[in-house]
Amino acid sequence: MVKKTKFKNIIKSNKGFTMQDLIIATLIITIFVGLIGTLMYSVYNVNIRTDLTSQMATYAVQILEDIDKISYDEVTSELADTYKSKFSIPAGFDVNIEVSHYGEGINNVQDVIKIVNLTISYELTGDVQQYSVQRLKIKEI
C-alpha cells in the first residue's frame, strides 16, 4: 500500500535573509561603528590635550629655572620671545611673561622683589588652554 502525500506550495522559504533582516543588521552595525568612532575620537582628543599640557609644564619649568639663573636686573617682560627661541618652543604655543614689582607703595621693598607671571597657552580646535605659574625673583645682595 502506497500512501499519497500532497505537496503544499511553499511560498516562503526559511532559508536566507529577508530585506528587513538586512536593514536591521545594517542599522545595528552602523550604530555600533558610530559609537566606537566617537569613543576613539574622544580618546584621541584627550590624549593630545594631555600631551600638550605636559609640554606646557615642561616649558614652564625650563623657563622658570633659567629665570632663577639670570640676574635680577635682566628679568623683564620682554623675555618671552627670547625664551621661545632659546628653548625651541613650537609656533602653536604662546608664551607671555609679565614682571611687576612686589610691594608697590612700600619703601625699599619694590626694589628688591619682582613678581614673574608666566603664562603658556595653545589653541586646539578653537579651545584655548593655559598654564600659568607665578614666581618671585629676589635681588641678590
pLDDT > 70: percent of the chain: 85
**Model's pTM, two decimal places?**
0.71
Tell me the pLDDT tens digit for each residue of 30-44.
999 999 999 999 999
Cα–Cα distance measured from residue 137 to residue 116, given in angstroms and rounded to the nearest whole number: 7
Neighbours of 114 (CB within 10 A): 20
Cα angle for residues 135, 132, 129 (degrees, 5° grid): 170
Residue 92 has a pLDDT of 87
Contact of 139 with 72, CB cutoff 8 Å: yes
Cα–Cα distance measured from residue 51 to residue 103, given in angstroms and rounded to the nearest whole number: 37
The domain segmentation of the chain, as residue ranges, is: 19-138
